[in-house]
């Protein structure tokens, strides 16, 4: 997802700036206090103003960021920076902070909805507190410059320009280890270009968070869950503890399989370029009997996004607004067009109303099929909570993991064989190999992903912000976690990725969506819980092989918690929806049939890497 903000230079410049000036002027006076005859009325007046200013500037900021991400050029970067400053000038205004704090100190006179909005005002302020304008402006400038480097990076392979999709294609299909290593190496070249900015951002982001009393930037992000940073790390470690036995079996099976594929001795840890993903975060494509590649070769990229929309429409959701199709940027930039765009998929709630857009580079293959369903999940969540009962300040997920989880869960459902047959992606005669499907699901969007997300990403970013990780240790720490949590090593062996590289910075989120990645881990756990509930209690079908297609009861069930946005506590929403607290129970149940099969396959093999 993209929480964002822009085009101050397009239409509404005068209106926005005038409104902004009036709003700030109004806040700095004490008129509010004089006029309001009760705390609650005072809060209502303040929140009316905040919601209006926030929504207007959110839109301005989003459009500037959208332009900068879809067409990288200096004038778009300049507009993004200016819009970012205007957004911070309003949301981080010291008068806003003082007023929100004063109101919250009298919370016994406030409603739950008012308290939630006021807390959100303070979280928004903490991203750009104008109690320290210099810090905020430097953060915005460095983030703009870093995104520009990342989004405009020209990958090269043997001297030729290539796109990220081209590198991914080699990692997915090539069996030539030399070509695989070249693609992997090429994908890591953004790291050194991004490292100096990341070093600056480490200090600037922590500085910004500390300005309003958060202990570090990681803690500020985790505050969206109502948790401390240490609690978040402990939650993620719990996931890893629960799933470690299954991961060790999968890791063992995978390394034997890969050694056979590449005619190599079986390694202890898996060399990163043997795996189909630049960061070894997903291990798809290892199970030939479950490969769906051939069923996508005759489809168009357009049909991929339309099929994804159809999934949601079948559950009773509206078609996407016409503006979604007119304004989104869904396909790779045309080679030679000179346009460079962000290659990472995202979905944007531009105006916190009905202007929703997705930025993707869709090609016709199973990975983009999955990702299109993921992105539209964000889009349908935006639309579900865009209603008068949910004020703009609370038009966000119940927590960030809810936002990631919905599309993840729909993508899980859209990958199930009975569904794929019912919509004609697979022929009616397709014979499912149940173990193969389950193994592919575990490898591609389940278990290794958690060891990357809860393990490597969460721990490295925790160290970066909460432990002020020294820049001389960035890469060593990165590969220590890759080795310890994922059981993966660099292509040229341990110790071959010195500090002249910065492999963490090659991951989009480290630059663009910092201290957020545990949200995907929680989303992964939660998607199995919600899917489990739907399969057992609404569809009465096995969770591993079911079909949501056309089921309005499933749509009604989802809409109930999606439409709440952040007006309710996420723990309450999850419990109300599934009857359970957050737990790996459903995930373990889902893959339970694999355990015995894996143990048989791995008989006599050394399990794990230590």
Dist CA 49 CA 118 (whole Å): 12
Task: Give me the residues paired with residue 271 across strands.
Answer: 489
Dist CA 516 CA 30 (whole Å): 37
Q: Which does 371 bind (CB under 5 to 8 A by kind): ligand X8Z, Zn ion, none?
A: ligand X8Z
Closer to Zn ion at the Cβ: 206 or 221? 221
Closer to ligand X8Z at the Cβ: 116 or 527? 527
Closer to ligand X8Z at the Cβ: 118 or 566? 566
Q: Which value, to the nearest 10 degrees, does the dihedral of the CA atoms of residues 584, 586, 588, 593 take?
A: -170
Dist CA 94 CA 130 (whole Å): 6
Q: Which does 204 bind (CB under 5 to 8 A by kind): ligand X8Z, Zn ion, none?
A: none
Least distance from C-beta 154 to ligand X8Z, angstroms? 21
Closer to ligand X8Z at the Cβ: 210 or 395? 395
Site string for Zn ion, 399-428 (x = CB under 5 A): -----x------------------------
39, 31 in Cβ contact below 8 A?
A: no
4, 348 in Cβ contact below 8 A?
A: yes
Least distance from C-beta 540 to ligand X8Z, angstroms? 29
Element (H, E) at 47: helix 39-70
**How many residues touch ligand X8Z (CB under 6 A)?**
7
Closer to ligand X8Z at the Cβ: 50 or 450? 450
Q: Which does 346 bind (CB under 5 to 8 A by kind): Zn ion, ligand X8Z, none?
A: ligand X8Z
443, 225 in Cβ contact below 8 A?
A: no
Least distance from C-beta 324 to ligand X8Z, angstroms? 16
Closer to ligand X8Z at the Cβ: 20 or 372? 372
| Token pair in block for residue 151 | 């989004």
C-alpha distance from residue 459 to each of 120, 271, 296, 478 (Å): 26, 21, 37, 9
Closer to Zn ion at the Cβ: 402 or 451? 402
Ramachandran angles phi, psi of 358, nearest 5°: -125, 140
**How many residues touch Zn ion (CB under 5 A)?**
2
Start-to-end C-alpha separation, the chain: 37
Least distance from C-beta 471 to ligand X8Z, angstroms? 23
Dist CA 112 CA 22 (whole Å): 28
Least distance from C-beta 452 to ligand X8Z, angstroms? 8
Dist CA 371 CA 491 (whole Å): 27
139: number of CA atoms within 13 Å, CB side?
24
The angle at the Cα of 431, spanning 427 to 434, to the nearest 5 degrees, equals 125
Which listed residue (345, 406, 510, 594) binds ligand X8Z by CB under 6 A?
345
What residues contact residue 557 under an 8 Å CB cut-off, 6+ apart?
Answer: 533, 534, 538, 577
Report helix, strand or coil for 162.
strand
Site string for ligand X8Z, 278-307 (x = CB under 6 A): ---x--------------------------
Q: Which does 280 bind (CB under 5 to 8 A by kind): Zn ion, ligand X8Z, none?
A: none
Least distance from C-beta 367 to ligand X8Z, angstroms? 10
Which listed residue (273, 374, 497, 531) binds ligand X8Z by CB under 6 A?
374
**Would you say the C-alpha torsion 200, 202, 204, 205 has a positive or negative sign?**
positive
| Token pair in block for residue 281 | 């975060």
Least distance from C-beta 376 to ligand X8Z, angstroms? 11
Closer to ligand X8Z at the Cβ: 341 or 374? 374
Closer to Zn ion at the Cβ: 190 or 519? 519
Asked if residue 1 binds ligand X8Z (CB under 6 A), the reply is yes
Least distance from C-beta 371 to ligand X8Z, angstroms? 5
Which listed residue (117, 371, 456, 519) binds ligand X8Z by CB under 6 A?
371
Residues 472-501 that bind Zn ion (CB under 5 A): none
Q: Which does 229 bind (CB under 5 to 8 A by kind): ligand X8Z, Zn ion, none?
A: none
Chain-centre distance of CA 194, in angstroms?
20
**Nearest to residue 356, comparing CAs of 307, 393, 320?**
320
What residues contact residue 211 under an 8 Å CB cut-off, 6+ apart?
Answer: 126, 129, 131, 132, 135
Asked if residue 346 binds ligand X8Z (CB under 6 A), the reply is yes
Residues 74-93 that bind ligand X8Z (CB under 6 A): none
Residues 379-398 that bind ligand X8Z (CB under 6 A): none
* Residue 496 CB coordination number (10 Å): 11
Asked if residue 1 binds Zn ion (CB under 5 A), the reply is yes
Closer to Zn ion at the Cβ: 128 or 377? 377
Asked if residue 520 binds ligand X8Z (CB under 6 A), the reply is yes
Chain-centre distance of CA 501, in angstroms?
24
Closer to ligand X8Z at the Cβ: 62 or 137? 62
Chain-centre distance of CA 28, in angstroms?
37
Residues within the interface to ligand X8Z (CB under 6 A): 1, 281, 345-346, 371, 374, 520
Residues within the interface to Zn ion (CB under 5 A): 1, 404
């Amino acid at each position: 997802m993209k929480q964002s903000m822009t085009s101050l230079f397009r239409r509404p410049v005068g209106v926005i700036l005038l409104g902004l000036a009036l709003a700030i002027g109004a806040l700095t006076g004490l008129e509010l206090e004089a006029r309001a005859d009760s705390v609650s009325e005072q809060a209502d007046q303040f929140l009316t103003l905040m919601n209006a200013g926030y929504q207007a500037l959110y839109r301005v900021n989003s459009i500037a960021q959208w332009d900068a991400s879809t067409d990288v050029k200096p004038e778009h970067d300049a507009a993004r920076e200016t819009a970012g400053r205007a957004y911070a000038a309003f949301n981080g205004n010291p008068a806003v902070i003082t007023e929100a704090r004063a109101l919250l100190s009298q919370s016994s006179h406030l409603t739950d909805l008012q308290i939630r909005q006021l807390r959100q005002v303070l979280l928004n302020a903490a991203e750009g507190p104008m109690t320290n304008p210099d810090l905020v402006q430097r953060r915005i400038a460095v983030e703009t410059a870093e995104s520009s480097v990342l989004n405009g990076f020209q990958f090269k392979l043997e001297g030729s320009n290539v796109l990220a999709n081209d590198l991914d294609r080699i990692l997915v299909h090539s069996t030539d280890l030399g070509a695989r290593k070249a693609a992997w190496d090429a994908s890591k070249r953004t790291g050194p270009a991004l490292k100096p900015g990341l070093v600056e951002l480490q200090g600037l982001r922590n500085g910004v968070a500390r300005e309003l009393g958060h202990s570090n930037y990681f803690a500020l992000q985790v505050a969206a869950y109502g948790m401390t940073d240490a609690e978040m790390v402990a939650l993620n470690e719990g996931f890893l503890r629960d799933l470690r036995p299954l991961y060790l079996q999968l890791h063992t099976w995978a390394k034997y399989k890969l050694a056979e594929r590449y005619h190599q001795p079986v390694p202890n840890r898996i060399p990163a370029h043997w795996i189909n993903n630049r960061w070894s975060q997903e291990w798809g494509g290892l199970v030939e009997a479950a490969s769906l590649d051939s069923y996508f070769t005759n489809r168009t990229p357009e049909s991929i996004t339309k099929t994804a929309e159809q999934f949601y429409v079948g559950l009773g959701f509206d078609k996407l607004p016409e503006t979604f199709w007119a304004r989104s940027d869904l396909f790779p930039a045309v080679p030679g067009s000179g346009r460079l765009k962000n290659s990472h998929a995202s979905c944007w709630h531009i105006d916190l109303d009905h202007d929703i857009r997705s930025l993707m580079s869709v090609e016709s293959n199973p990975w983009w099929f999955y990702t299109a369903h993921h992105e539209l999940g964000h889009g349908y969540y935006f639309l579900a909570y865009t209603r008068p009962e949910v004020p703009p300040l609370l038009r966000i997920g119940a927590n960030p993991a809810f936002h990631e989880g919905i599309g993840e869960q729909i993508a899980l459902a859209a990958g199930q064989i009975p569904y794929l047959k019912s919509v004609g992606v697979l022929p009616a005669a397709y014979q499912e190999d149940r173990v193969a499907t389950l193994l592919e699901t575990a490898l591609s969007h389940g278990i290794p992903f958690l060891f990357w997300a809860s393990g490597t990403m969460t721990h490295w970013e925790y160290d970066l912000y909460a432990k002020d990780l020294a820049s001389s240790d960035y890469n060593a720490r990165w590969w220590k976690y890759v080795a310890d949590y994922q059981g993966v090593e660099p292509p040229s062996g341990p110790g071959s990725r010195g500090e002249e590289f910065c492999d963490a910075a090659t991951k989009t989120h480290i630059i663009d969506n910092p201290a957020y990645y545990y949200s995907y881990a929680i989303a992964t756990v939660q998607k199995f819980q919600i899917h489990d509930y739907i399969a057992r209690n609404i569809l009465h079908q096995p969770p591993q092989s079911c079909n949501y297609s056309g089921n309005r009861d499933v749509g009604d069930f989802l809409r109930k918690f999606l439409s709440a946005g952040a007006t309710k506590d996420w723990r309450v929403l999850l419990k109300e929806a599934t009857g359970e607290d957050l737990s790996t129970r459903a995930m373990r149940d889902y893959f339970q049939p694999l355990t015995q099969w894996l143990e048989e396959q791995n008989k006599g093999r050394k399990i794990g890497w230590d």
